Amino acid sequence: MSIREATIAVNRFGLGARPGDIAKISKDPRGWLKGQLKPDAPPIREFAALKPSGETIMMLAALRKGGAEVRDQRNQMQRDTYKVEMAARCLVAVRTEMPFRERLVRFWSNHLAVSTSRGEVRSMAGAYEREAIRPWVCGKFEQMLLSSARHPAMLVYLDNLRSVGPNSKVGSKRERGLNENYARELMELHTLGVRGGYSQEDIIELAKILTGWGIERRDGIRVGFQFDGARHEPGNKTVLGKRYREGEESGRQVIRDLVHHDSTGKLLATKLARHFIADDPPPKAVDRIAKAFKSSRGDLGKTAEALVDCPEAWEKSLTKLKTPEDLVSSTARALGYDTDGLPNLESVKYLGQLPFSAPSPQGWADRAEEWLGPEAILTRVEWAEQVGMESTERIEDPVGFGEDILGELSKTTRRAVASVSKSDALALVLASPEFQRR
Amino acid sequence: MFNRRTLLKSMGAGGLLALARPEWSFAAAPGDVRLVVMLLRGAVDGLAAVPPHGDFRYEKARGAMALPRSGSEGGVIDLDGFYGLHPSLAPLQPLWESKELALVHATALPYNDRSHFDSQDVLENGTDRPLGSRTGWLNRALVGKTGEPAMAIGRTVPLILRGPQKVTSADPLRVWKPDNALLNAVADLYEADPQLGPALEIGIQTQAMLDVHRGRMRDAKRQKKRDFEKAARVLGGVLAADDGPRVAVVDLGGWDTHTGQSNGLNKLLEGLAGSVVGMREAMGSTWDKTVVLAMTEFGRTVHANGTAGTDHGTASFTMLAGGAVAGGKVYGEWPGLRDDQLFEGRDLQPTTDLRSISKGVLMAHLGVSDSAIEDSVFPDSRDAKPMLELIRS
């Protein structure tokens, strides 16, 4: 029995303890984590009423033409879709019985980030995570990457939708051509990593291979992925020394080859170890995870198991500063909030991490110094104060509460929490160095 | 050091004003100058911002993205017969006339691999390679200087300002109402915490300093402008105050214009110009001793891509504004737009190392010593000669 390991499992690998969680899993924390890594998971009730991206796109397309009124309607619809999606996403984070799996969903959707900085992405971001990321989170990375590449949200966000082979039928007739944005980030951010061994020429060739990847139009309305040969650059292409033939299949092939390149396993292992072990990931852990990725041919469930098996993951407690999103979900779980009260989308926004609004395709940063500004810390303290005030009726004994969700409180925290009003005591538990970390 | 409990107890309505912090007095500050570094993240199309309309290859090279000729509707604003300003930068024209605006064209970092993330890292870390340092050149340049900590605008501190020297961050538009008893207790909890402790302590000091500017914040918030333009106005006032910071960093992102770039770019350039003009208005006579240095991680392709935008390129432009700038001039050697003059056949060829500009500003404006520059601020950069001439003597 290990309270310390159970605390790490629930708070660092999971999304934060609910009262009683740590005791409940303390017999076998690692088994509890691994039990969440089956390839398939039951459907999620909170998502039942959400629309598939195709349907949203059709509704938006119907509001395409018209004056200011129609445009306002369209914007309103995008905002509403985003809100409904994000509310469901928040609820899942609070209610899930598989918080490690949920954290992995968020990790991978941040790895293959889309952002609402592109207006059209706003109504598709939630669906992107549900459709392209979630199904493969314990499956094959190749399928996840392919789903991401083909999803309308990614096609729009990194411009591949608009990229046209300059010598294709459409390209030569309308003087349109390549846009290398997606091809570059596909290699730099999603697979090989920035010094993973590709050149500017490889980027251009990859962009050519991916021309024609677009969204199907039905009655002039876009609904789902479609390969359009009229936009595809004719001829063979060469990426990283390998030749690819013309056609849709070459895109699948090149994505498969990128996934199984050694640089990709290293990049993914480093990012996983940084997220789950420490800002500066121990090289031994990175090696172990990269090996598992390689030997399983990119099976993300097996890769996550290797992460759990890293001894380095269990050596030190509280190595990671929570991001604002972590802070909000762990607070909501600890205090038993559900659809009510402060820990919600507004809170995440206030603390500086509105979902799917990362400043660049690199996604949200995963090192403490990126979240640590004086203004950021003041905002966290202020938020803890508000939550403390609103939560006094939920908790009888703040010290007992703190020990329950954190395994233990430091002497300093315990003394401070014990000596103030209940509202301040709760705020102190939430603001404490141990709750600000995982 | 001051006693934190005493500090916090003195806070409250009006209490912040009464703080005596003799050890942070500005009498000790070396010179009474101001520096604002604006980081234009996403890679600005320098050929759009500062078009070389006098180059006879300009219109052909830019194709449909070439701006209408100077004098026509929405055309280039001519500066010196060869270079011009994008029409959305029109608010900066008076600064050019009064020699408070200088531009450097074809600037680039010693890193040319067209990755935003690596290049921004080099832009901020001050070495010649990505991940070359975990601290920023601006922070290292301030080591040993006294005075109010340099301020990053926003929640967090970007790499350029991270390092051994104490710095702060603040959102100039957020009005803060602290519960002092609780803050006291949290500060005690953070006392031994190497990350949270210093962040909270400096944050509280910064809020105390900002307290006199609350009225300015409320005024700014009422104006019909973009948030960062409002923030720039408040920042101008804060910088002009006797006890304000001397150095600030502003992030202005969104310049990654791969598709249909003209609309987005127009708005961004308007915002950039609006921020500079707003800061100038708010600063009053302090503007005379100010340099605003705006830089980006790289430029964009000379020719349009297939989607009326531009892809990642190499050289771009750098802008300096302020009363302390030797302005009314476009510095740097023009590399030309002929195909064989382009970098790797596609990008504007760099002719000025961005570090030469930063070094010139640090030395001639902030008085950073040559040895500090070469030893720690921009290590191994002897080949990038400091452009001291950018600062008015």
ipTM: 0.93
Question: Does A240 fall in a domain?
Answer: yes
Question: Does A198 fall in a domain?
Answer: yes
Where does the pLDDT of residue A222 fall: very low under 50, low under 70, confident under 90, or very high at 90 and above? low
Question: Does A94 fall in a domain?
Answer: no
Q: Which of A171, A420, A436 sits opposite B196 (nearest CB)?
A: A436
Contact B306 A177 (CB under 8 A): yes
Residue of B nearest to A161 (CA): B307
CB pairs < 8 Å spanning A and B: 153
Looking up tokens 């990426």, which residue turns up? A239
Question: Does A365 fall in a domain?
Answer: yes
pLDDT of residue A374: 96
Give the domain-ending residue among A236, A259, A282.
A259
End-to-end CA distance of chain A: 20
Q: Is A188 part of the contact surface with chain B (CB cutoff 8 Å)?
A: yes
Kindly report the nearest CA distance between residue B100 and chain A, in angstroms: 32
End-to-end CA distance of chain B: 37
Domain of residue A385 covers 324-436
Residue B14: is its pLDDT beyond 50?
Answer: no
Contact A428 B186 (CB under 8 A): yes
Cα–Cα distance, B299 to B344 (Å, whole number):
13
Question: Does A55 fall in a domain?
Answer: no
Which of A180, A198, A375, A411 would you mutate first to test chain B, the one with the most B CBs within 10 A? Answer: A375
Residue B106: is its pLDDT beyond 60?
Answer: yes
**CA-based nearest residue to B218, from B236, B233, B198:** B233
Where does the pLDDT of residue A280 fall: very low under 50, low under 70, confident under 90, or very high at 90 and above? very high
Span B193-208, average pLDDT: 94
How much is the pTM?
Answer: 0.92
What's the CA dihedral at A262, A265, A269, A272 to 10 degrees?
150
Task: List, in order, residues 6 or more apart from B76 with CB less than 8 Å away.
Answer: B51, B53, B67, B68, B69, B70, B84, B85, B86, B87
Q: What per-residue string of b and e applies to A163-186 under the rule 16 or more CB within 10 Å gives b?
A: bbbbebebbeeeebbbbbbbbbbb
Q: Which of B157, B176, B312 sits opposite A378 (nearest CB)?
A: B176
At how many degrees (to 10) do helices A422-431 and A411-418 cross?
Answer: 160
* Higher per-residue pLDDT: B167 or B21: B167
Which chain A residues are within 8 Å of B196, Cβ to Cβ? 372, 377, 433, 436
Q: Is A422 part of the contact surface with chain B (CB cutoff 8 Å)?
A: no
Which chain A residues are within 8 Å of B121, Cβ to Cβ? none
* Higher per-residue pLDDT: B278 or B220: B278
Cα–Cα distance, A433 to B195 (Å, whole number):
9
Q: Is A432 part of the contact surface with chain B (CB cutoff 8 Å)?
A: yes
- Maximum CA pair distance of chain A? 77
Contact B186 A431 (CB under 8 A): yes
Residue B12: is its pLDDT beyond 50?
Answer: no
pLDDT in tens, A69-125: 998 999 999 999 999 999 999 999 999 999 999 999 999 999 999 999 888 899 999
Residue B9: is its pLDDT beyond 60?
Answer: no
Residues A251 and A343 in one domain: no
Contact A374 B206 (CB under 8 A): yes
Q: Is A263 part of the contact surface with chain B (CB cutoff 8 Å)?
A: no
Give the domain-ending residue among A231, A259, A287.
A259
Task: List, in order, residues 6 or more apart from B73 with CB less than 8 Å away.
Answer: none
Which of A187, A210, A377, A383 would you mutate first to test chain B, the one with the most B CBs within 10 A? Answer: A377
Total of domains in chain A = 2
Answer for the pair A272, A107: CB distance below 8 angstroms, yes or no.
Answer: yes
pLDDT of residue A1: 56
Which chain A residues are within 8 Å of B208, Cβ to Cβ? none
Residue B28: is its pLDDT beyond 80?
Answer: no
Of A332-341, A350-359, B374-383, the least confident: A332-341
Strand, helix or coil at B291? strand
Task: List, in order, residues 6 or more apart from B67 with CB less than 8 Å away.
Answer: B48, B51, B53, B74, B75, B76, B84, B86, B87
Residue B7: is its pLDDT beyond 70?
Answer: no
Question: Does A13 fall in a domain?
Answer: no
Full DSSP string of B152-168: EESSS--GGG-SSS-EE
Give the domain-ending residue among A259, A284, A313.
A259
Phi, psi dihedrals of residue A194, rounded to the nearest 5°: -65, -30
Kindly report the nearest CA distance between residue A434 and chain B, in angstroms: 10
Residue of B nearest to A178 (CA): B306
Which CATH fold topology does B4-390 show? Alkaline Phosphatase, subunit A (3.40.720)
Contact B206 A360 (CB under 8 A): no
Question: How much is the mean pLDDT over chain A?
Answer: 95
Which chain B residues are within 8 Å of A378, Cβ to Cβ? 176, 200, 203-204, 207
